[in-house]
Amino acid sequence: MKNLMHILTVTLSLLFTGSLFVACDDDEKTVVVPDNWVTVKTDPMSISYEGGTLSLDYELANGLDERVVYVISSENWCSGYIEDGKMQIDVEPSEDIDGRAAKVFLTYDAGHQVELVVNQEKAPVILVTSIDKSAVPEGINLEETLDLNTVVKVLPANASYQDLRFTLAEGSEQYVSLSAAGVVTGRSVGTAQINVSTTDESGVKDVITLKVKGDIILNRTDWTVSTFAKYANGQNYVTDNNTGKPEHILDGKQNTYLSLIKPGKSMSGYVGTTDPNFTVDMQKEQTFNYFYWQHRKQNDGFLQVLSVDIYGSHDNQTFEKINNAVVSIIPNLYDIQYFDIPESTYRYVKVQYRSYSSGGSSAQVAEFGLGRKL
């Protein structure tokens, strides 16, 4: 534990307007907390980046109860307490290269407290030694975006400067575009190279190789989903805590899903009378030649849809069947499954359920989307 680094030279009697009168039992005297309730040195305290403990003497005015005094800190890395009649301040080690400060309040009650400042010195700079590209995917699809900041990191993990600079290698602009924020977008089929460098003085550099595949996964951001259902409570889905909703097949999460009742089954007052279906509105005409499907996570043998038909429409009134034969979905496979269908251009796509796993009363799907292979 470290001693107080700077012995404070000026003793101030803290002045507060007014006094606090504490009502006591009739048999006890009234305790008056005076304006100058404490004498303590209040110059800012300093401590090394390595942290430690600061100790500070104080003296209460006559008649005040030492047991009442406590310490409040504005920062969780700096905690204070009273021990052996002294104010003790524990400060955690810091990696902040700019230094940091905390306010600490020696307190008797809400109306009587003294503000003290603890300054922690700057930590030394930790330079980057290498760039970690292990999370970079082999490739992206046409029109797909990838935020390089989420998949490229510096090592060590506690390096002082975490930011990286990304630039396109010569000739790569024909395959991808790169924003100033480090977001890359697939533009044409081919292989792009992206230069990456650190922002500290280490001089570490590397090159990312990224393939652009001939596949367009349609952007689902503006899509909406409706279902055939209208259950007794007026909802078009089966509630399951916070999930079960149609829009959950578009949120990119495997533990949320659309839930509908299987035909001939009932659940919590919901009754299934026919094969369920849902319709995706893509908001505009789009061309696609495959769809993808994902079962709810870890739901072995239960609640799964095992086959579907796919229909398309321009007006959400007249639908035309797209697939030539019923599409079978592999049971108990929890990776995303992809299914080729004849190339089509529609705004609305209806998915009609045809068969189900044997267990459970509801039929559920975690994710659905469309794409186009070139």
- The answer to whether 265 and 318 have CB atoms below 8 angstroms apart is no
Does residue 143 surpass a pLDDT of 80?
Answer: yes
| pLDDT number for residue 267 | 84
**187, 141 contact by CB (below 8 A):** no
Determine the Cα angle at 357 with ends 353 and 358, to 5°: 125
pLDDT for 238-260, tens place per residue? 998 899 999 999 999 999 999 99
100 pLDDT band, cuts 50/70/90, is very high
Q: What is the DSSP string of 206-252?
A: EEEEEEEEEEEEPP-TT-EEEES---TTS-SS--BTTBB-GGGGGSS
Say what the pLDDT of residue 234 is.
Answer: 87
pLDDT tens digits along 67-98: 999 999 999 999 999 999 999 999 999 999 99
Contact 72, 87 (CB under 8 A): no
Q: Mean per-residue pLDDT for 138-160?
A: 95
Residues 6+ apart with CB under 8 A from 203: none
* pLDDT(30) > 90: no
Contact partners, residue 59, CB within 8 Å, separation at least 6? 38, 39, 40
Residues whose CB is less than 8 angstroms from the CB of residue 173 and which lie 6 or more positions away in sequence, other chains included: none
24 pLDDT higher than 60: no
The pLDDT, as a whole number, for residue 32 is: 86
Residue type, 43: D
| Equal fold, 11-120 vs 224-373 | no
8 A C-beta contact, residue 347 and residue 361: no
Fold of 130-214: Immunoglobulin-like (2.60.40)
44-69 tens-digit pLDDT: 999 999 999 999 999 999 999 999 99
Instruction: Please report the pLDDT score of residue 28 as a whole number.
Output: 52
pLDDT exceeding 70 applies to what percent of the chain? 92
> Is pLDDT at 23 greater than 50 in this prediction?
no
pLDDT at 300: 74
Give mean pLDDT, residues 20-34. Answer: 58
Q: What residues have CB less than 8 Å from 207, skipping those under 6 apart? A: 169, 193, 194, 195, 196
Is 150 in a helix, a strand, or coil? helix
The CATH architecture one would assign to domain 11-120 is Sandwich (2.60)
Domain 224-373 in CATH: superfamily?
A: Galactose-binding domain-like (2.60.120.260)
345/347 Cα distance (integer angstroms): 7
Nearest to 4 by CA among 86, 63, 69, 77: 86
Domain range summary for the chain, segments of one domain joined by +: 11-120, 130-214, 224-373
How much is the average pLDDT of 130-153?
A: 96
pLDDT of 357 > 70? The answer is: yes
Q: Spell out the residues 6+ positions from residue 150 whose beta carbon is closer than 8 angstroms to its own.
A: 135
Amino acid 29: pLDDT: 59
Q: Is the pLDDT of residue 25 over 60?
A: no
